[in-house]
Structure 1
Amino acid sequence: MAAGPVRQNDLRREPVLPPGFSLVTLRESGDAFAHAQAIAAEAGAATLVWVRRFDIVEFAVVLEPDAILAEARLAHYLAMNALADALAVHSPPERPVLFRWPDALTYDLGLIGGGRLGWPTDCPENQVPDWLVFGAMVRATTMSPFELGQTGVGMAEEGFEEVDAVDLIESFCRHLMLGVSHWQDEGAKAAARRWLDRLEKVVGVRHGIEPNGDLIATSQFGTERRSLTEALAKVDWLDRDSGAPKL
């Protein structure tokens, strides 16, 4: 069965969000991640900002943590889990939805999107931030035939038939709420373990997550620690010129 395009009416209808969420929509030229951070202090938790783009599913959500910043960043793993779960629900069967450290989302080993985490720049590591913002992008369509050397993929080209931006956003919010519930019952470690279950595997390497979110990679050659804060600052999956996941 041929892959169909993402539904066109996704830009005309609005997501039906769970109770407690509020929706802010931006025009195609908007920046969900930046806008959510700009309004986070006033708008409050569960504010979702959505950019009405055809080629990219782009949105951001405001979170209000109850832990100090050094621990609150673990919410990145919680939100990435929700993003992957939302994509997996709508994906063709037996095609893996995985993570690349720390914030890239792959589908069948092709880069399809990613997440970003923002917080107040003046918040010390040992204080509770007023807010966090998780921003997400998933490529709806590459809008071009596959080219040699291309590692990025799009939903339309990969068989996500009859799935649009609204479907993905609604699913993300439901999975995020479920993840928050599990976090409250089981703690942040459970969210980190779930994220690790989807991390692209490296033969001979065992991974773990530290209480501050850093990644520990252990192999026969020793142990390497990778800083979550430094890695999040790079946003390696994002093409800053196009404002979309890298192809």
Structure 2
Amino acid sequence: MEQTLDLPPGYTLVALRELGDAFAHACEIAAEAGAGTLTWVRRYDLVEFAVVLEPDEPLSSARRAFFAGMNALADAIAAHCPPEREVEFDWPDAIRFDAGLLGGGRLAWPADCAEDEVPPWLVFGVILRAAAMAHVPEVQAASGVSLLSEGFEMVDTDAIIESFARHLMTAFDRWKERGFEAIARDYLERLPKGKAGERRGIDVNGDLLVSLPGGSGAPERNSLVDALARANWYDPQARGPKFE
């Protein structure tokens, strides 16, 4: 019997073979496949999936859906992790578990979409290290955090994706009912502060704004688009999270 996922209503599963690329494939089929399409690569060493979204606002502000995705991912990990363990973010896209780099999220949109146009689709992609990757030298692998090394069960890897799908729906409902501030607050709670007392906010275009107490002038601005383009957590050659 072929392995599958138990996703909530509204999702359509597209399962790929082990060598597939969930993020790239979701981007290729997004225009035709539509919202709720979830591409998933069956791998033992990575939790790799991507979901197609259809926003209803211009690209410049629609990118904030990324934070709803990151919140859903962190909530899903937290629901299955051993107790008393922290799930945190590095701005904007890396997931840390107990301070170790576990993986991260990515966001794609049509290359020809202008900032003031409503994009026909967005793709939110995720890769988490589930186990030591077979092609990585043992010494290097030992320096990396994985779900299995941190006390998760193997069955939890699929359950995290299923849980993410439910939490993502909840996040968008929360956004609709309470506004984006509720999403921003949840995200910022998991983003460690650089300095004591600093105030943070997420601008309408997704940039991180940081101001110090008593400071005058404009807050420091951290570009979401630039940071997503760097994807500092991701190793494109290994097609997985970096080792630190």
Amino acid at match of 1:87: I
CA distance in 1, matches of 2:44, 2:153: 15
Q: Residue in 1 aligned with 2:232?
A: 236
Q: Aligned match of 1:167 in 125, 135, 159? A: 159
Q: What are the within-5 Å matches in structure 2 for residues 64-213 of structure 1?
A: 64-143=54-133, 147=139, 152-204=144-196, 205-213=198-206
Question: Contact 1:110/1:151 (CA < 8 Å) preserved in 2?
Answer: no
Shift of 1:147: 4.8
Answering whether residue 50 of structure 2 is matched by residue 60 of structure 1, we say yes
Q: Aligned match of 1:227 in 212, 223, 233? A: 223
TM-score, normalization: structure 2? Answer: 0.91
Q: How much identity, in percent, do the aligned residues show?
A: 55
CA distance in 2, matches of 1:164, 1:29: 21
CA distance in 2, matches of 1:213, 1:174: 23
Q: Residue in 2 aligned with 1:216?
A: 209
Amino acid at match of 1:163: V
Question: Contact 1:90/1:163 (CA < 8 Å) preserved in 2?
Answer: no
Greater Cα shift, 192-201 or 161-170: 161-170
1:30 is paired with a residue of what secondary structure?
A: coil
Q: How many residues align?
A: 237
CA distance in 1, matches of 2:154, 2:228: 32
Q: Residue in 2 aligned with 1:6?
A: none
Q: Residue in 1 aligned with 2:31?
A: 41
RMSD, matched Cα: 2.0
Mind listing any 5+ residue stretches in structure 2 that lack a counterpart? none
Answering whether residue 11 of structure 2 is matched by residue 18 of structure 1, we say no
CA distance in 1, matches of 2:99, 2:138: 15
Shift of 1:76: 0.3
Change (3 A) 1:148 1:113: closer
Shift of 1:38: 0.5
Question: Contact 1:56/1:139 (CA < 8 Å) preserved in 2?
Answer: yes
Residue deviations 1:115-147 (CA, integer Å, cap 9, x gap): 000001111111100000000011101258985
Question: Contact 1:111/1:151 (CA < 8 Å) preserved in 2?
Answer: no
